[in-house]
Amino acid sequence: MAIVKVHYDAGREWERVRLPGSKSIAARALVCRYVYGLDTELVNLPDCDDTIELSEALRRLSERIDKPLLRLEEFGELPPCVMEFNLGNGGTSLRFFVALAASLPGLTAYVDCAPGLKRRPLAPLLDELRHHGAEIECLERPGYAPLKITGRRLTGNELTVSSRQSSQFLSALLMASPLWDIKGAPIVPDVTVSKPYVEMTRKVMESFSKSPERYEIEADWSAASYFYELALAVPGRKLYIENLTDAEHSIQGDSETQNVFAFLGVGTHRAEDSATGAVLEGDARATRALADTGLSLRLDMGDTPDLVPALAVGMCLAGIPYVFENVGALRVKESDRLQALCAELHKAGFAVHVADDIAGDGVPMPRETPTVSLVWKGQRYPVADDETFEAWNDHRIAMAISILATRLGWLGIKDGEEVAKSFPGFYNELGCLGFKITGIRI
């Protein structure tokens, strides 16, 4: 893959930028629209790899099995068919599709994915589906894709799957559950990781249960975090986002971005000339006052793990030490994001490390409450000359480390085009903010 070169010119004027639609909401909307058999118009559907791959899989599925919920309610069965699917690199898409396919009696689905995604665990989801009557065969190794799924009419109201690794398992089951032979809503366990994503799932399901003709997908707050990161790294300059959903009315847990960065000194002001426009601006004095305390800012990131890359890089650039607690789930994302952040921030001169089973600063914790923390105490290393950075095949790592160019002047990112997974226009938008991108067609 190409090395994307990111240059930053502090003297250039900043123009307006625009966010893609939320891929998390989009994935839920696509699945719910299919389950309920609707023709709902999806507005602001993001044009990213994950959404395209899931949309295509559901389009093909609907050609053979259309309006599944209505058919099951009327006839109790679906037309038999055998199909092959490839969900590409989309972890969310794969998990949602596996639960859906297992809940369609009559469907035999061979489900494959990209090599990197075959390393991400599915065992908790597969075990739960089997507990409810699913027939799933792992074709290469237990607990991982590729899979052969023989759809069944699943039963049993009570879900017991743990969300410790990923809330996506629970969300996948919830969205497939209207197709099951059960009365009432499923009984779910306590959510321990990314709880706001499960609440998002419930809200999207509620909306589609009302058969809307039109459903508007919010702008992506996870994508917004990289512009907040930039505002933190370059205080005193106004950054205008054209389409940022009001945090108070957003169904995205990552709308917490606004509050977290506000504490760090980045203000969010609603633009007078737009219903959704927002202006971000970092306050250098407020940020410096926080950094000068010399104390590590301790944040529990269990509910919003996708914000960690932007915060980890941005707070290093702003000189604010931190301890991010409850981040163990980041080890099983597109990459081991903890390892990736440590490695790439080391190259930029920041001594970031992972602390296992301790309270961030080396204090042992009771065995029953283990945690994993990402820690930076303010220590710095010499910056290596001409060091090539790596995206680790991870879109969020690629976007977060791009902002390091504000300090280094420029950097090369191997596999930087991974941003297409969630935000294909990311480098275009950086081009509006004093950055020049070469080595990739944008």
Task: Report the pLDDT value the prediction gives residue 59, as an integer from 0 to 100.
Answer: 98
H helices of 190-336, in order, are: 195-208, 221-233, 257-264, 284-292, 308-318
Task: Report the pLDDT value the prediction gives residue 369, as an integer from 0 to 100.
Answer: 45
Task: Report the pLDDT value the prediction gives residue 91, as an integer from 0 to 100.
Answer: 92
Which residues, including other chains, have CB under 8 Å from residue 289's CB and lie 6 or more apart? none
E strand or H helix at 148, and its extent?
strand 147-150
Tell me what percent of the residues of the chain surpass a pLDDT of 70: 95
Q: What is the mean pLDDT of residues 331-339?
A: 93
**350 vs 192: which has the higher pLDDT:** 350
Task: Report the pLDDT value the prediction gives residue 110, as an integer from 0 to 100.
Answer: 98
pLDDT of 140 above 60: yes
Here the tokens at position 242 are: 């054209």
Distance, in Å, from the CA atom of 20 to the CA atom of 15, rounded to the nearest integer, reads 17
Here the tokens at position 65 are: 């099995």
Model confidence at 1, in pLDDT bands (50, 70, 90)?
low
Task: Report the pLDDT value the prediction gives residue 357, as an integer from 0 to 100.
Answer: 58
Cα radius of gyration rounded to whole Å, the chain: 22
In tens, the pLDDT along 253-301 reads 999 999 999 999 999 999 887 888 999 999 999 999 999 998 999 999 9
Whether 346 and 358 have beta carbons less than 8 Å apart is answered as no
Task: Report the pLDDT value the prediction gives residue 441, as an integer from 0 to 100.
Answer: 57
Q: β-pairing, 266-270 with 81-86?
A: unpaired
Task: Report the pLDDT value the prediction gives residue 165, as an integer from 0 to 100.
Answer: 63
The three state secondary structure string of 352-368 is CEEEECECCCCCECCCC
CA 382 to chain centroid? 32
Task: Report the pLDDT value the prediction gives residue 164, as an integer from 0 to 100.
Answer: 64
pLDDT of 435 above 70: yes
H helices of 265-394, in order, are: 284-292, 308-318, 337-347
Task: Report the pLDDT value the prediction gives residue 358, as an integer from 0 to 100.
Answer: 46
Q: Which residue has the tokens 């300090």?
A: 407
Residue 324: name the closest of 47, 345, 334, 163 by CA: 345
pTM: 0.93
Q: What is the mean pLDDT of residues 20-49?
A: 97
Task: Report the pLDDT value the prediction gives residue 48, as an integer from 0 to 100.
Answer: 94
Angle, helices 337-347 vs 395-402, to 10°: value is 30
Task: Report the pLDDT value the prediction gives residue 359, as an integer from 0 to 100.
Answer: 45
Cis-peptide, bond into residue 370, ω within 30° of zero: no
Q: What is the average pLDDT score of the chain?
A: 93
Domains of the chain: 3-21+219-438 (3.65.10.10), 23-216 (3.65.10.10)
